[in-house]
Amino acid sequence: MTSATATRQAPSRLGRKTTSGLVTLFTWFVVFVFFFPVAWMVFTSFKTEGAAATFPPQFVTDLSLDRYRDILGRGMGPYLINSTIASVGSTLIVMLLAIPAAYGLSVRPITRWSDMLFFFISTRFMPVAASIIPVYIVLQKAGLLDNINALAFLYVGINLPIAIWMMRSFFAEIPREVVEAAQIDGAGYFRELVRVSLPMVSPGAAAAALITFIFAWNEYFLANLLTSTLARTTPPFLGSVVDGRGQFLAALCAASTLAVLPVVLAGWVAQKRLVRGLAMGAIK
């Protein structure tokens, strides 16, 4: 890491270009190492089970989409659908609740706003340990175990705080004058929110929605515990692909590739906004 700073600052010399090239080469090597497990997963998903289980590993072998056909044939589809319902549904509700709350917190700071912020942020960090036992027992008594809507509702609780935090930081960036001008023009508070502020924070809202979606899509603990067959989502399903008797590596890789694809693609597209959201608005 020193050399990286050094090359940028070094006075021009003959060796400078070579050093810079070496640092670039080293950087790409590190990138390759970090990305390798993902690349290997995708590569293995195209192999036959036999080829996936050979050692030393085969780098040249017959590739096909057969494992994807197998895994979908073994009924992965419904799990993906359940994941979609839980994540999209909870994301929509989270945004419906978070946008007004964040607006209330930022554009029109209520008294003790900082208290309120602290409350919301701390609920995000409350361990699931705090609530899981009563939640399980209540759902069991109400016959709501293995119910995808119940799972989605719990995801709302998990993701609401982080969405409020992100949205608050986006609302806070709207210049006061814009809001005041709208009010002088006679717009009510509500109309001002919908007509003026909301359009200005829509890129931020998209980022908040994306992060909410990612957390819900990837959630394992609650999904594993509270669903069994009907409402099972993708993360707990993946473990069931592991087969104690037969070969399963290629099938596992195919299932995992399908499972991570939506979030990885969305994350790649929106990476700039993602950073800011994940740092909860602390970083521009």
Segment 44-63, which members bind other proteins (CB under 8 A)?
44, 52-57
Among 92, 123, 198, 200, interactor with other proteins by CB under 8 A: 123
Does 101 bind other proteins (CB under 8 A)? Our answer is yes
Q: How far is the CB of 4 from other proteins (least distance, A)?
A: 5
Q: How far is the CB of 258 from other proteins (least distance, A)?
A: 10
Among 137, 181, 194, 230, interactor with other proteins by CB under 8 A: 137
Cα gap 255→239, rounded to integer Å: 10
Does 186 bind other proteins (CB under 8 A)? Our answer is no
Encoded tokens for 143: 């016959």
- Which one, of 182, 170, 179, 188, lies nearest residue 105 by Cα? 170
Among 164, 201, 207, 231, interactor with other proteins by CB under 8 A: 164
Q: At what angle do helices 113-124 and 77-106 cross, to 10 degrees?
A: 160
Q: Is 213 exposed, middle or buried (0-12, 13-18, 19+ CB in 10 A)?
A: buried
Q: How far is the CB of 225 from other proteins (least distance, A)?
A: 7
Does 18 bind other proteins (CB under 8 A)? Our answer is no
- Which one, of 117, 85, 95, lies nearest residue 202 by Cα? 95
Stretch of residues binding other proteins (CB under 8 A), selected from 68-76, 142-150, 154-162, 194-202: 154-162
* Residue in the structure block whose two tokens are 């799972």: 151
